[in-house]
Amino acid sequence: MKPKTLVVIGGTLLTAGCFWGLLFAPAEVFMGDVYRIFYIHVPTAWNGLLLLTAAFICAVMYLMKGDLMWDDRLEASMEAGVVLSALLTVQGSIWARPTWGVWWNWDPRLTTTAILVFAFAGILALRTSLKEPRRRAMVTSVATIVAAADVPLVYFSVRFWNSLHQIQSSPETVSAAFVWPLRVNAIAVLLLMAGLISIRAETVARLREAGSEPPPLPSAQVEGAR
Amino acid sequence: MSGEIVGGWEYVIAVYVISALVYAGYAYSVLRRDNASRSLSKETKS
């Protein structure tokens, strides 16, 4: 399937899932309508962590194979992962205000997520300062493997430490009426991001190849050589 | 106090609007940079 087709299907499904969650899913007993944030917050969180895990796999693959294709995929996955992680932090902060009474709390889940966003955004910033593709790929891969240690910490933080944040949602912990809009949005974000990452990885590869090619000879030099 | 949250639609709408802007904005940014890189690639080859 073409990446742009994935983007269109993902975007359409996400729009449908959001309307389902906003208009047709029932309100939750204690959180009322505020619970509707769950239908976009949780898929964003799942996919954000998945994308940063994909970046970690690309980093390991680059170090093992030495193929710059893995570095292109790493950049694409990490960029999308940082966007989703930053978005999930904002969504969570807005959800926290009516439920916890504060916009932000230095809770283990929130703190580890903030570290995640800054660590990976820092690696992306670092990439821009390194021009030589092999050196950039090596430095990024090592930094990604170090930063990825925070991904399981984010996921398990609600179980490792006492946390205001609720434990991970699953079909066992969520009512059946809430599960389907959640699943639709999770699949939608996955398809959307899969399409965007494919396009972005191709773009990164194209720019790298264009940058690594020698500049064309000036016409005068070519004529002189004849 | 029952412990129930009443209202809160303003928070829900804020989250969905911000999310829509970020998802759409990121998709637009990826597609725009892709088009720009195709043009650059063509220029480099020619």
Residue A80: half-sphere exposure toward Cβ, Cα within 13 Å: 33
CA distance A112 to A109: 5
Torsion region of A79: left, alpha or beta (phi above 0 gives left; psi -120 to 50 gives alpha): alpha
Domain that holds residue B25: 1-46
Please tell me if residue B3 touches chain A, with a CB cutoff of 8 Å.
yes
Give how far B12 is from chain A: nearest CA, Å. Answer: 6
All residues at 6 or more sequence positions from B26 whose CB lies less than 8 Å from its CB, including other chains:
A80, A83, A196
The partner residue sitting opposite B11, judged by closest CB among A18, A97, A213, is A97
> What is the per-residue pLDDT for A219?
53
pLDDT of residue A214: 41
- Two tokens, residue A206: 């194209």
> Which residue type sits at A36?
R
What A90-95 contacts at long range (C-beta under 8 Å, 24+ apart), as own/partner pairs, is: A90/B18, A91/A37, A91/A40, A91/A41, A91/A44, A91/B15, A91/B18, A91/B19, A92/A41, A94/A37, A94/B11, A94/B14, A94/B15, A94/B18, A95/A34, A95/A37, A95/A38, A95/A41, A95/B11, A95/B15
Is B40 near chain A, with CB under 8 Å? yes
Q: Which residue of A has its CA nearest to B10?
A: A34
| B40·A210 Cβ contact <8 A | yes
| ipTM confidence | 0.89
Mutate to test the interface with B, among A29, A40, A128 (most CBs of B within 10 A): A40
Backbone dihedral angles phi then psi of residue A131, each to the nearest 5 degrees:
-90, -30
Mean pLDDT of A166-179: 76
Q: How many domains are contained in chain B?
A: 1
Q: Are A35 and A27 in contact (CB under 8 A)?
A: yes
Alpha-carbon distance of B29 to B35, in angstroms, equals: 10
pLDDT at residue A213, rounded to an integer:
44
User: Is residue A120 classed as helix, strand or coil in its secondary structure?
Assistant: helix
pTM of the model: 0.88
pLDDT digits (tens, 9 = 90+) for A137-171: 999 999 999 999 999 988 888 888 877 777 777 76
| B44 touches A: beta carbon within 8 Å | yes
Determine the pLDDT at residue A156. Answer: 86
For residue A135, what are its two tokens?
């050196």
Residues A211-218 have a mean pLDDT of: 50
Q: Which of B4, B14, B23 is opposite residue A32, by nearest beta carbon?
A: B4
Q: Where are the domains of chain A?
A: 3-225
User: What would the two tokens of residue A154 be?
Assistant: 């984010």
Across the interface, do A44 and B19 touch by the CB < 8 Å criterion? yes
Q: B25 vs chain A: nearest CA distance in angstroms?
A: 10
Contact across the interface for A207 and B3, Cβ inside 8 Å: no
